[in-house]
Structure 1
Amino acid sequence: MLHCITTIFLSISRMTMEDGPIAESYFTAYADVCFREFGNHVKFWTTINEANVFTIGGYNDGTSPPGRCSNCSSGNSSTETYIVGHNLLLAHASVSRLYQQKYKDKQGGSVGFSLYAFEFIPQTSSSKDDEIAIQRAKDFFYGWILGPLTFGDYPDEMKRAVGSRLPIFSKEESEQVKGSSDFIGIMHYFPALVENIKLKPSLSRNTDFYSDMGVSLTYLGNFSGFGYDVFPWAMESVLEYIKQTYGNPPVYILENGTPMKPDLELQQKDTRRIEYLQAYIGAVLKAVRNGSDTRGYFV
């Protein structure tokens, strides 16, 4: 039997997640309709798609909807990024609680949360500062989302770096968010080089997600639009890190693959993508054999 994974929430237009409790209530009501109408056909739900990069793109960089940032016509990269991330987690917990209380027994489905997963490697292999910066990058990209879902709170390093601009979970909210995801969905395409950065005092007030993280990222691969480079070891490393750091939750790889130019010869003999998928599926198999609870792979 074919089971599909359906994402409730892809992007926002009129309703924006900086609206807090109002957006949470609307989102929960919307999810209620989705569960009621489609729950007999869908067994796996993800509430938020690529929560970390959605929030960074929409509220730190301003490059994706709703296009807010400090250098945009409206927005504040130093605060809204974290407020929205916080609200997404609370909205997810609300939807998960709704499903557990109202639909789980009848439909038997699962509700998960998804994020974009980079593998981070040091810009300079001999640099201790870059090695330390890798953990900060993981705390900000992974721990920002998986910390609350697993432990009920943000990573200590993130709390130290962001300070009072990082929202605080109440005891009740922490209990609601912790354990609210039946599985973790990940999107993975390529790794990133990490370089430690130290801001000059004159620039210290220009804070955003990246300056708080204190790293510079260089993405590896061919970004011409067609044909990503192949880094299957990065996929294996991502799954291993999630296993070791966040209690080995069930994982579904929701996105992976490489685009290619439209080409008749390629359609008849698509060797490159066959080799790409063989390499990545092999990496997932290695991770599973090493104990990762990875249960599905989508391209």
Structure 2
Amino acid sequence: MKPFSLFFIFWVIVSGTIYISAFTRKDFPEDFVFGAGTAAYQWEGAFDEDGKTHSVWDTTSHCSNGSNGDIACDGYHKYKEDVKLMVQMGLEAFKFSISWPRLIPSGRGAINPKGLLFYKNLIKELRIYGIEPHVTLYHYDLPQCLEDEYKGWMNRKIIEDFTAFADVCFREFGEDVKLWTTINDAPIFAIGAYGQGIQFGHCNFTRNSCTETYVAGHNILLAHASASNLYKLKYKIKQRGSIGFIIYGFGLSPYTNSKDDEIATQRAQVFLYDWMLKPLIFGEYPDEMKRTVGSRLPVFSKEESEKVKGSSDFVGIIHYQTVYATNQPGPSLFPSLNKCFSTDMGVYLMIDGNSASFEVDLNPCGLERDLEYLKLSYNNTPIYILENGLPLKHDSTLQDTPRVEYMQAYIGAVLNAIKNGSDTRGYFVWSMIDLYELLAGYVSTYGLYYVNFSDPGRKRSPKLSSSWYTGFLNGMIDVASQDNIQLQRNLSSSSSL
């Protein structure tokens, strides 16, 4: 490279005013939506205010002296401030969940007027500024009273109660909400919450994970179908919205080029994707799961199969990292969560070939593989990427360059998938601001905005990633290719010498 050219590229990068073009916001379909997300327990705080009762998440987070979501980001009191941040960023949509025990404190029956008013005001505030609300009905915060009464998702009574809760939400908010999802990350919720050790709603409680994981998963599917069919029969024509279901996408890849690892990857797809997607699209569990799990896997009646089949207008995908599948014994993701499910699956899952933790890597090809698999296996059903982001240590450093590089790479992967025919319709960064995280508490966070959790006022500060997303959404940034990102790194290193 000529010295002048090298200097010019260095100046371009440092000045931040010119970018080498790879793609822009305009390269996406006109109706494609970009957003960011939160969830009720992780964002709202106000855990015992204005008539809200405890959820199972409240109970479990108070089992030890560790962190909890009692205050979290205090979104319950600061939602208008957060909406202003979304407006400044140019956010097109906001994904959030509705706290069941805040809206219906007894789990069924009377509506809490203050809880209802909060969500109406939040949705109104979003609509005023042209931000599309994307509402998740259930993000792990079952009213504790229902867990105490009948063991929550282990009992078919949950189907009726969840449908009644959904009915209230559709009736009260549906005129302004056009995108609904029923249950967040359903397969992983069933695997994790109904695995081993501490569970949602219990401080010391061990479940029979060899059976209860599949029972909970079955009831989740039936509850989703019940709420979805209610929406389509009672509200859809008038409100003109869509309703979907969320799974976790692992970006599965064989650990080696061997035939055995290819087979292991296919088997992992069956247990992690097809377990719930095949009933949703085709009405039945995968044959391989029926053979392996046997009588522990519940059976759909003919009527139930027809209700579940076709009950999702779209599938929501949560994706953070690529996972490698092998049949060779080694450290794996699931035994600590659910040893029996891992044994049934018969596959060892690893990150970077040696890690057994939910770390995140920069490997956007995994997301493309997910989208290609869903396109080919499930009639190219519409897709929304509802969570995608990078966790970093929570500190006051606002220069989160790795997160910017991550977002560039994964948004580019989504565009590649669309160009290859995937009917992907939206992308949501997790998370809009720093939250109380399910596994990490406040140790590592995903936010585009920093939250000072030591400050009683929970001050928000923009990170570099929020500025980058602002520029991208407003058409001021042409995203550089990964080669150029690496060049930026190299030149930055050279400039510091």
| Structure 1 partner of 2:221 | 89
| Structure 2 partner of 1:194 | 325
The separation in 2 between residues aligned to 1:222 and 1:148, in whole angstroms, is 33
Per-residue CA deviation, residues 134-175 of structure 1 (Å, 9 max, x unaligned), is 111000000011000011001111111101111111111111
| Structure 1 partner of 2:413 | 283
2:308 corresponds to which of 146, 170, 177: 177
Secondary structure class of the residue paired with 1:298:
strand
The separation in 2 between residues aligned to 1:197 and 1:137, in whole angstroms, is 14
2:162 corresponds to which of 13, 27, 32: 27
Q: Does 1:236 align with 2:364?
A: no
CA contact (8 A) 1:183 1:250 kept: yes
Per-residue CA deviation, residues 158-195 of structure 1 (Å, 9 max, x unaligned), is 11110111111111111100000011001000111212
Secondary structure class of the residue paired with 1:23:
helix
The separation in 2 between residues aligned to 1:178 and 1:142, in whole angstroms, is 15
The separation in 2 between residues aligned to 1:55 and 1:31, in whole angstroms, is 20
The separation in 1 between residues aligned to 2:164 and 2:417, in whole angstroms, is 38
Q: Does 1:216 align with 2:348?
A: yes
Q: 1:209 to 1:227 in 2, by over 3 A?
A: closer
Is 228-237 or 281-290 further displaced after alignment? Answer: 228-237
Bigger Rg over Cα: 2
Q: 1:252 to 1:39 in 2, by over 3 A?
A: same
Specify the code of the residue in structure 1 equivalent to 2:391. Answer: P
Per-residue CA deviation, residues 74-117 of structure 1 (Å, 9 max, x unaligned), is 42111110011011000001001110111112211111000111
The separation in 1 between residues aligned to 2:363 and 2:183, in whole angstroms, is 26
Specify the code of the residue in structure 1 equivalent to 2:341. Answer: F
The separation in 1 between residues aligned to 2:282 and 2:362, in whole angstroms, is 33
CA contact (8 A) 2:191 2:213 kept: yes
Give, in angstroms, the shift of residue 63 of structure 1: 5.0
The separation in 2 between residues aligned to 1:115 and 1:35, in whole angstroms, is 22
Secondary structure class of the residue paired with 2:244:
strand
Q: 1:191 to 1:64 in 2, by over 3 A?
A: farther
Which stretches in structure 1 are left out of the alignment for 5+ residues? 199-205
The separation in 1 between residues aligned to 2:302 and 2:131, in whole angstroms, is 40
Give, in angstroms, the shift of residue 241 of structure 1: 0.4
Give, in angstroms, the shift of residue 207 of structure 1: 7.2
CA contact (8 A) 2:324 2:353 kept: no
The separation in 1 between residues aligned to 2:217 and 2:343, in whole angstroms, is 17
Secondary structure class of the residue paired with 1:97:
helix
Give, in angstroms, the shift of residue 124 of structure 1: 3.0
For residues 255-294 of structure 1, the aligned pairs below 5 Å read: 255-262=387-394, 266-267=397-398, 269-294=399-424
For residues 91-106 of structure 1, the aligned pairs below 5 Å read: 91-106=223-238
Give, in angstroms, the shift of residue 226 of structure 1: 11
Per-residue CA deviation, residues 47-96 of structure 1 (Å, 9 max, x unaligned), is 0000011000011234552469xxx7342111110011011000001001
Which stretches in structure 2 are left out of the alignment for 5+ residues? 1-129, 147-151, 330-337, 430-497
Q: 1:83 to 1:257 in 2, by over 3 A?
A: same
The separation in 1 between residues aligned to 2:171 and 2:276, in whole angstroms, is 27
The separation in 2 between residues aligned to 1:256 and 1:63, in whole angstroms, is 27
Specify the code of the residue in structure 1 equivalent to 2:427. Answer: Y
For residues 35-54 of structure 1, the aligned pairs below 5 Å read: 35-54=170-189
For residues 116-195 of structure 1, the aligned pairs below 5 Å read: 116-126=248-258, 128-195=259-326
TM-score, normalised via structure 2 length:
0.54
CA contact (8 A) 2:224 2:245 kept: yes
Per-residue CA deviation, residues 233-288 of structure 1 (Å, 9 max, x unaligned), is 11111100010011111100000011233555x52x44322221111011000000
Q: Does 1:65 align with 2:195?
A: no
TM-score, normalised via structure 1 length:
0.88
CA contact (8 A) 2:197 2:205 kept: no
The separation in 2 between residues aligned to 1:117 and 1:67, in whole angstroms, is 28
| Structure 2 partner of 1:7 | 136
| Structure 2 partner of 1:203 | none
Specify the code of the residue in structure 2 equivalent to 1:44. Answer: L
Q: Does 1:114 align with 2:250?
A: no
The separation in 1 between residues aligned to 2:384 and 2:358, in whole angstroms, is 25
The separation in 2 between residues aligned to 1:182 and 1:62, in whole angstroms, is 35
Calculate the aligned-residue CA RMSD, in Å: 2.4
Give, in angstroms, the shift of residue 217 of structure 1: 1.4
Q: 1:75 to 1:36 in 2, by over 3 A?
A: same
| Structure 1 partner of 2:153 | 17
CA contact (8 A) 2:279 2:305 kept: yes
CA contact (8 A) 2:195 2:339 kept: no
Give, in angstroms, the shift of residue 220 of structure 1: 3.6
| Structure 1 partner of 2:463 | none
Q: 1:180 to 1:226 in 2, by over 3 A?
A: closer
What is the aligned residue count?
Answer: 284
The separation in 1 between residues aligned to 2:162 and 2:353, in whole angstroms, is 36
